[in-house]
Each structure stands twice: as C-alpha cells, then as structure tokens.
Amino acid sequence: MKETVIIFRPSSEIHLKTHFVKEFFFKKLLQNIKALLKNNKIDFTLIGKYSGIIVFKTSNNNNAVPLLKKIFGIHSFSIAETHSFSSMDDLKELFLVFAKKSLSKGNSFALKISRNGKHAFSSKDVAVKCGQKIMDSIKGIKVNLSKPEKTIFADIIKNKVFLYLEKIEGIKGLPVGVEGKVGVLMQGKEEELVSGFLMMKRGCNIFPVITEINPQIKKNFELLSKWNSFVEFKPIFYSEIEKEKKFLSALILSERTQEKALREMTELAEQTGFVVFSPLTLFPEDKFKEILGLVKK
C-alpha cells in the first residue's frame, strides 16, 4: 500500500559527533520540526530513524515543504512514496509503476539507490534489474547516468523502499538549541537579521537585548521567528542585563566595521562583564546580501 512521507537527511556536521551528542542533536532537531509544524497547524508523526535519514509524515506534506527549508540542521529532504516489498520482483514492479508516473517518452533517466540492512541483492543489482525492467516496459526512454533529465532515487531499508524524484536543499547548520543562549543587541537594523540568523545556524538560542520596542524591532522579531520554528522571542531589556549573567553565555553585536566593532566590543564587555562577539565584522558583502535577502524573503 502506497504512503507518502517526508524523509530528511540531517546536516553532515551532525554525523561527525559522538553517538551521545548526535542523538541529542537529532532529538532537538525533531523537537524544532514538531514545533514548526504545530505552529503552522500541520500534524506530525515520526515513522522512524534509520541510517542517514529520518522519516515522518504530516497532514499536509506540500505545505510543510517551504517551512522545512527554514529549519537549521537539515541537509536535504524529499517527499517520497513508501512501499513494502519481499523480493526483487516486487521491487521491479514498484520501480516500474513509479517510473510510469514520472517519465515521459524521450526522457533520459538514472536510478540512484541507497540500501541499508541485509538483503539478497546489492544496490547495483537493484539499479541494473529495475532499470532494465523500466527500459523494457516504457518505450522511447533511455539511460543517462551522467546527466539524466530525471533521476529516480530509492532508499531501501529492510523491507521498505522509499521512492522519490527530488532532493530539496535544506539550510544546513546545527539545530537551534544545541549550543548556548546568546543575547543579540537589537535596535531595528538590517544587520541584526543577519547576526541573528548566523547565531541560530550555529545552534544558539537567541534572545533580543533591547532598550525599547519599536516597529522595526518588532518586524525583525517577526522575520527571525520564521527561522526559529515560529517560536516567539523573549526580549531582554538592556537595563536588566546584569540579571542574566547565569542565563546568557555571550552578547552579540551587529557591527560590520572593524574599528567600530573592536571599540564597542571592549566597551560593552567592560560595562556588562559578558563575553562579546561581532560575527559580521569583515563579513563578505556578497554573503551578507545573500543571507539578508533570504531572511527578508
């Protein structure tokens, strides 16, 4: 029986961690995804965690796609059909049915197979035999392994196969919440959007540090919350920053000029006793514009 699910591949950086740390990161990533979907009224059900991928289903996969593009910690994801099988003959039929829906006369195609578990066949066996079945059954198509017009991907795990046509690129980075809590000084400037984005991408929970709430600061909150699973930010007033010594691990400036950044970092560190960072100092202009456009989109 066909079921449509979403499979995602965590950032490669996560896989470099020890088993204990990796499991903690996976747990936080799933919490963030659940919060994101819940805050957008989309139900979430975890199907399973396998080698290299995590599988879940939602009440509206199509609406979930643009949201998942804003979750830090995902390398890529796909909407896939999932089927059970018991033999190579089953696989050939499943691949053929999927190919008939996906390929048209004149298309070139390739099969990309990933396999995990004990099977009586190799990934190459699947590609060769299922590819031949497709070629024999659908006229006017051809194989092109280097530059195919369409690629059919398959993740084979135990007695299940996940079939899909596309790997949607994620934002990568680390899941928000796996690193420290930092205060981002905000006055309503565009630079604060990029600073906040960069700190969240490194896994930090950010807390706006403000002297007042004005319309532009509110707008910045709104834009950044989309990258925070739509969870609202809890602002901290600068006048009360001394109370947050045990809560925040650092303060973040959004100054791009080196001389001014060094001066303000020194003054702020002396005034507050916090460690101060300025991630935008000497930050490449093209990358700054790219991230700013992404956040404001």
Task: Transcribe 70-136 into DSSP letters.
Answer: T-TTEEEEEEEEEEE-SSHHHHHHHHHHHHHHH--TT-EEEEEEEEES--SS-HHHHHHHHHHHHHH
What values do phi and psi take at 87, rounded to 5? Answer: -155, 170
Which percentage of the chain shows pLDDT scores above 90?
Answer: 91
The whole-angstrom separation of Cα 267 and Cα 263 is 6
Q: Residue 241: which CATH number?
A: 3.40.50.620
- Same domain for 230 and 277? yes
- Same domain for 220 and 245? yes
- Same domain for 44 and 21? yes
Maximum pairwise Cα distance, the chain = 75
The last residue of one of the domains, among 64, 83, 102, is 83
- Same domain for 78 and 90? no
Coil, helix or strand for 271?
helix
- How confident is the model at residue 30, as a pLDDT? 95
The whole-angstrom separation of Cα 266 and Cα 258 is 12
- How confident is the model at residue 127, as a pLDDT? 96
- How confident is the model at residue 1, as a pLDDT? 53
Taking each continuous run of H as one helix and of E as one strand, the counts in the chain are 9, 14
- Same domain for 209 and 291? yes
Q: Is residue 175 part of a domain?
A: no
CB-based burial of residue 25 (10 Å sphere; 0-12 exposed, 13-18 middle, 19+ buried)? buried
DSSP-assigned beta bridge partners for residue 254: none
Q: Is residue 169 part of a domain?
A: no
- How confident is the model at residue 51, as a pLDDT? 77
- Same domain for 24 and 79? yes
- Same domain for 105 and 65? no
Alpha-carbon separation of residue 130 from 123, 126, 143, 144, 285 (angstroms): 11, 6, 12, 15, 48
CB-based burial of residue 64 (10 Å sphere; 0-12 exposed, 13-18 middle, 19+ buried)? buried
- Same domain for 73 and 97? no
- Same domain for 24 and 7? yes
271-283 pLDDT, tens digit per residue, is 999 999 999 999 9
Q: Is residue 93 part of a domain?
A: yes
- How confident is the model at residue 295, as a pLDDT? 97
Q: Residue 31: which CATH number?
A: 3.30.70.1510
Closest CA to 57 of 103, 6, 112, 129: 6
Q: Residue 109: which CATH number?
A: 3.30.2300.10
Q: What is the enclosing helix (H) or strand (E) of 210?
A: strand 205-210
Q: Is residue 280 part of a domain?
A: yes
For the record, the structure tokens of 22 come out as 């990796």
Residue-range definition of the domain harbouring residue 195: 181-296
- Same domain for 237 and 264? yes
Q: Is residue 164 part of a domain?
A: no
Low-confidence ranges of the chain (pLDDT < 70): 1-2
- Say how many domains are in the chain: 3
